[in-house]
A and B are shown apart, each in its own frame.
Chain A
Amino acid sequence: MNVVTNNKWIGQRTIRPDGMDKVTGRAQFAADTTMPGMIWGKVLRSPHPHARIRSINTAKAEALPGVKAVVTSKDIVDFPIEKGAVMLGIQDMRWMCRNVMARDKALFPGHPVAAVAATTEAIAAEACKLIEVDYEVLPWSIEIDDAIKPDAPILHEFNKFDGKPSNIAGRLEHKKGDIAEGFKRADVVIERTFTTRPVHQGYIEPHACLISVAPDGKTTIWSSSQGQFMVRAMTSMLTGIPQSDIRAIPAEIGGGFGGKTIVYLEPLATLLAKKSGRPVKMVMTREEVMRATGPTSGSKSTVKIGATKDGKIVAAHGTFYLQAGAFPGSPIRGAAGCSFTPYDIPYLLSEGFDVCSNRSKVAAYRAPGAPIGAYAVECVLDEVAEALKMDPLDFRLKNAAREGTKAAHGPTFPRIGYVETVEAAKNSPHYAAPLGDGHGKPQGKLRGRGVASGFWFNAGGESSAQVNITEDGNVVVTTGHPDIGGSRAGIANICAELLGIDYRRVSVIIGDTQTVGFSNLTGGSRVLFASSMVVTQSTEKIIQTLRERAAKIWEIDPEAVKWEQGAAHPVSPNAGQFEPLTLQQLAEKAPAMGGPIGAGVQLNTQGADGGFGTHVCDVEVDVDLGIARVIRYTAVQDVGRAIHPGYVEGQLQGGVAQGIGWALNEEYIYTKEGKVDNPGFLDYRMPVCSDLPMLDCIMVEIPNPKHPQGVKGVGEVPLVPVMAAVANAIYNALGKRFYALPMSPPKVLEVLEAPTREAAE
């Protein structure tokens, strides 16, 4: 692969191709779309955390004037549990078909039990109330400790752990050597237990779709998702309509962060549209989003780390219990597989346990599992460094994974950039700056500084692109991945760079499922990595065609033509003396010279490198009110190559802001009836503008050698270290450590007011 070196556009802060639509209100998000004859769908949801559904009577609802269709689980394709897993990516369709609509049991408050389509939203909501569901209410558990008790109510009787029915749906481990042996060599051993609460991805756009099904089954879906191909496949599997009959058109997506990688509404709306013969629109309310989608796991982790006097970590043991919600599938791989990865640890055991309980099925959330694991590991590392009287960054440097280190999750690292992130953090103006007034004072507002590191796998996978030269000599690139945070800008930069033309001549389109080749989800920090590979190869094919065309016109060998600055040139004076032929001139001559110019490439992309970040955080804690504020923050990350620095920084800053919310305020709170008690933005308190400082970024660029532009994924790493960095900063400010998130004002006060307990430990 040629690596681009001249860099006219790569690395520039160009204006994104879809920007104008978004600043003028023109961009079409899923809820903005309408269709002639459209009706509205609404979902009836279980009020109970756990209940057997004895029967559902929809007769009264169906009789209500204006109601056009009602569906229940009978209408959805069943994937029987006994028949074994049916996987679509990482999702098992046995759980998916039961998650979109409760089958025999309702497993969380908010679990759909029926759906109605009617001429207005109000009538559909009214009809939902007329549906009679006969529930046998069952005992339930939500918290991990309750769900793993020997006598806990079991969600799925078929699920066995250690031979008995259990809510533990799975265990995985990563192992290096015998840890007992390792810990014997340690001079300092620290073991702590941490808990985190479930938090929601919190995208501002609720889930929405509009679906039309013609009498011949031809189906068109406009929906907000992280993957139109995932929407097509899941809808097809759950409705029985063949994939070739479903056209899933990606609407602009108003945030996802992993939460829009599965379907909730699309199969229901499709079945309602099919039954009613009318296009059906469904939009969730914020309350429905909070009760019945996402969030990520709550957790309980125990981490033990042993180090020698000279600061070398010799052994580590992590046990990570993660809530899966109603169906198996919590991100234990991210927790157990990522949290020790920045370090070279000779003896290691990292275990993950997947625990079902009566809350909504978890969905991916930015580096799923990794932030939970990193919170525990990076806090214990801080304690070990302190016990050894070492600077926490020096301690990390001393133990850093580098080229040749065998990672906890298996691979031996190629050239990675972790050390560089720690060094950059250490040399940053932030780390050198005095904390200012407040550090070390006994009362008032106390300041502290903390650091933490994090790792995420990053991913490659399937991607498709089509690049076409227009008749007037401009470029249209079509890819198959929804643009969630500016990926179109990166693609335009790369394509313009390769062709040597102004980036404004490149238009980047997200194709629908029936117009571009299969492309996997926007997730795993994979999109720019994968799509730039297929765009690069497509563009290289086009350049080859352009050279051949110029060669034909000049009647010389194609090898004697080079492509430079948007035009064909003879390679040297001996090739002949010809005026350059520009892209535009060659496009105009296309009809006479072999026809349209375009190329497409489909690949299962390989070679994604993991990503590392190291963060520095300053907090100020008001000890009278218990309020912790982040007052300065620096996120350092190895980004491979920043194709569009503005949007790379944006990923870093966005991840940090989410992490600060998770650290300080965000959590699901439950009523004693087992329902989410804070299902709105007023009580589920995400950071607002006045909660945050400016967020500094340092981009370390160690190019990925397996990628034509050196790209590494960037979107997920930024969330991984944040909670630990904030917790370590609060410890530095108060001399008290928090073993539970969020560190919200009441909890901070509680710890501040119990000084003796801490001292006794």
Chain B
Amino acid sequence: MAKVHVTTSINGEPMEFLCEPSDTMLDALRGTLNLTGSKEGCASGDCGACSITLDDRLVCSCLMLAVESEGHEIRTIEGMAQGDRLHPLQQKFLEMAALQCGICTSGMLVASDALLKKNPDPSEEEVRFWLAGNLCRCTGYDKIVRAVMETAAEMRAQ
């Protein structure tokens, strides 16, 4: 089957790539584009390790076709820090030990960022329900929830 040509924007950079019509966005990111920060934990939309944003909307890149990125803005974990300046969420995850093995971390950060953009002052319950699509088997979520709440508070104070 002939490959499809896709023109998109990834982390603010114009990007073109070829893919099979059946490739997922996660396949394209990890394979063709060599952006391996997004992880595959399930390929069925249940773990959130592959979370990215499509035009600021949080999506599982394993559930989206690569061709669907045509003309849209994709953001991944690789675009979260600004140069050598970490995003406040990344900094807080480090300070508060909100990661253990780190395999869920990219997805958690992308999802938390999307939450704080939508709601800069989420309650604990809102954080928990928003992140319910991101599985973490190591942390028991406690430190992740605290890190997101604390980042939100600091970002509001600025």
Please list the residues of chain A having a beta carbon within 8 angstroms of any beta carbon in chain B: 13, 15-16, 18-20, 22-29, 31-32, 34, 201-206, 252-257, 283, 285-286, 484-486, 489, 644, 646-647, 649-651, 653-658, 680-682, 686, 688-692, 694-695
Q: Are B132 and A654 in contact (CB under 8 A)?
A: no
Q: Are B142 and A682 in contact (CB under 8 A)?
A: no
Q: What 6 A-B pairs come out closest when comparing CB atoms?
A: A25-B37, A254-B103, A646-B97, A653-B140, A657-B140, A22-B102
Q: How far is the CA of A695 from the CA of B145 in the complex (A)?
A: 11
Q: Are A485 and B138 in contact (CB under 8 A)?
A: yes
Q: How far is the CA of A256 from the CA of B103 in the complex (A)?
A: 11
With both beta carbons as reference points, the residue of chain B lying nearest to A660 in the complex is identified as: B140
15 contacts between A and B (CB under 8 A): A13-B97, A18-B102, A22-B102, A24-B77, A24-B80, A32-B30, A205-B101, A256-B101, A644-B97, A650-B143, A657-B141, A686-B135, A688-B135, A692-B128, A692-B141
Q: Are B134 and A286 in contact (CB under 8 A)?
A: no
With both beta carbons as reference points, the residue of chain B lying nearest to A15 in the complex is identified as: B94
Apart from A256-B101, A654-B137, list 5 A-B contacts with CB within 8 A: A204-B101, A205-B103, A254-B39, A255-B137, A690-B131
With both beta carbons as reference points, the residue of chain B lying nearest to A486 in the complex is identified as: B100
Interface string of B120-157 (1 = CB under 8 A from A): 00001101110111111111111111100000000000
Which residues of chain B are within 8 angstroms of A692 by Cβ–Cβ distance? Answer: 128, 140-142
Q: How far is the CA of A24 from the CA of B134 in the complex (A)?
A: 17
A-B contacts, CB under 8 A, total: 183
Q: Are B37 and A681 in contact (CB under 8 A)?
A: no
Within 8 A of A (CB), among B56-99: 76-78, 80-81, 86, 90, 93-97, 99
Q: Shortest distance in angstroms between A388's beta carbon and chain B's nearest beta carbon?
A: 34
Which residues of chain B are within 8 angstroms of A24 by Cβ–Cβ distance? Answer: 37, 77-78, 80-81, 86, 90
Q: Shortest distance in angstroms between A492's beta carbon and chain B's nearest beta carbon?
A: 13
Which residues of chain B are within 8 angstroms of A485 by Cβ–Cβ distance? Answer: 100-101, 138
With both beta carbons as reference points, the residue of chain A lying nearest to B76 in the complex is identified as: A25
Q: Shortest distance in angstroms between A311's beta carbon and chain B's nearest beta carbon?
A: 34
With both beta carbons as reference points, the residue of chain B lying nearest to A655 in the complex is identified as: B140
Q: How far is the CA of A254 from the CA of B138 in the complex (A)?
A: 9
With both beta carbons as reference points, the residue of chain B lying nearest to A685 in the complex is identified as: B46
Which residues of chain A are within 8 angstroms of B37 by Cβ–Cβ distance? Answer: 24-26
Q: How far is the CA of A688 from the CA of B133 in the complex (A)?
A: 7
Q: Shortest distance in angstroms between B86's beta carbon and chain A's nearest beta carbon?
A: 7
With both beta carbons as reference points, the residue of chain A lying nearest to B42 in the complex is identified as: A286
Partner of B132, one of A16, A658, A690: A690
Q: Are B137 and A689 in contact (CB under 8 A)?
A: no
Q: How far is the CA of A646 from the CA of B129 in the complex (A)?
A: 24
B43 sits at the interface (CB 8 A)? yes
Q: How far is the CA of A647 from the CA of B144 in the complex (A)?
A: 13
Which residues of chain B are within 8 angstroms of A15 by Cβ–Cβ distance? Answer: 94-95
Q: Shortest distance in angstroms between B103's beta carbon and chain A's nearest beta carbon?
A: 3
Which residues of chain B are within 8 angstroms of A694 by Cβ–Cβ distance? Answer: 124, 142, 145-146
B10 sits at the interface (CB 8 A)? no
Q: How far is the CA of A283 from the CA of B35 in the complex (A)?
A: 17
With both beta carbons as reference points, the residue of chain B lying nearest to A633 in the complex is identified as: B140
- What DSSP secondary structure best describes chain A's contact surface? loop
Which residues of chain B are within 8 angstroms of A689 by Cβ–Cβ distance? Answer: 127-129, 131-132, 134, 136, 141, 144-145
Which residues of chain B are within 8 angstroms of A489 by Cβ–Cβ distance? Answer: 97
Interface size on B, residues (CB 8 A): 57
Q: How far is the CA of A647 from the CA of B143 in the complex (A)?
A: 10
Q: Are A23 and B93 in contact (CB under 8 A)?
A: yes
B38 sits at the interface (CB 8 A)? yes
Q: How far is the CA of A649 from the CA of B125 in the complex (A)?
A: 22
Q: How far is the CA of A19 from the CA of B133 in the complex (A)?
A: 23
Which residues of chain A are within 8 angstroms of B132 by Cβ–Cβ distance? Answer: 688-691
Q: Are A653 and B41 in contact (CB under 8 A)?
A: no
Partner of B142, one of A26, A32, A653: A653
Q: Shortest distance in angstroms between B95's beta carbon and chain A's nearest beta carbon?
A: 7
With both beta carbons as reference points, the residue of chain A lying nearest to B79 in the complex is identified as: A25
Q: Shortest distance in angstroms between B139's beta carbon and chain A's nearest beta carbon?
A: 6
Q: Are A204 and B137 in contact (CB under 8 A)?
A: yes
B19 sits at the interface (CB 8 A)? no
Q: Are A656 and B140 in contact (CB under 8 A)?
A: yes
| A203-B137, A694-B145 known; A19-B94 Cβ under 8 A | yes
Which residues of chain B are within 8 angstroms of A204 by Cβ–Cβ distance? Answer: 39, 41, 47, 49, 101, 103-104, 135-137
Q: How far is the CA of A252 from the CA of B105 in the complex (A)?
A: 13
Q: How far is the CA of A746 from the CA of B144 in the complex (A)?
A: 31
Partner of A650, one of B41, B44, B138, B145: B138
Q: Are B129 and A690 in contact (CB under 8 A)?
A: yes
Q: How far is the CA of A249 from the CA of B97 in the complex (A)?
A: 26
Q: Shortest distance in angstroms between B24's beta carbon and chain A's nearest beta carbon?
A: 13
B106 sits at the interface (CB 8 A)? yes
Q: Shortest distance in angstroms between A244's beta carbon and chain B's nearest beta carbon?
A: 30
| A24-B90, A25-B77, A690-B128 known; A654-B43 Cβ under 8 A | no
> Which of the listed residues A205, A486, A691 has the most CB atoms from chain B within 10 Å of its own CB?
A205
Q: Are A206 and B41 in contact (CB under 8 A)?
A: yes
Q: Shortest distance in angstroms between B142's beta carbon and chain A's nearest beta carbon?
A: 5
Q: Shortest distance in angstroms between B98's beta carbon and chain A's nearest beta carbon?
A: 9
Q: Are B106 and A255 in contact (CB under 8 A)?
A: no
Q: Shortest distance in angstroms between A373's beta carbon and chain B's nearest beta carbon?
A: 23
Which residues of chain B are within 8 angstroms of A656 by Cβ–Cβ distance? Answer: 140
Q: How far is the CA of A257 from the CA of B43 in the complex (A)?
A: 22
B25 sits at the interface (CB 8 A)? no
Which residues of chain B are within 8 angstroms of A25 by Cβ–Cβ distance? Answer: 35-38, 76-78, 80, 106
Q: Shortest distance in angstroms between A749's beta carbon and chain B's nearest beta carbon?
A: 24
With both beta carbons as reference points, the residue of chain B lying nearest to A697 in the complex is identified as: B142
| A24-B77, A689-B132 known; A254-B139 Cβ under 8 A | no
Q: Shortest distance in angstroms between A15's beta carbon and chain B's nearest beta carbon?
A: 5
Which residues of chain A are within 8 angstroms of B76 by Cβ–Cβ distance? Answer: 25
Q: How far is the CA of A2 from the CA of B90 in the complex (A)?
A: 37
Q: How far is the CA of A283 from the CA of B77 in the complex (A)?
A: 22
With both beta carbons as reference points, the residue of chain B lying nearest to A201 in the complex is identified as: B137
| A650-B138, A653-B139, A688-B133 known; A23-B94 Cβ under 8 A | yes
Q: How far is the CA of A373 from the CA of B3 in the complex (A)?
A: 56
Which residues of chain B are within 8 angstroms of A201 by Cβ–Cβ distance? Answer: 137
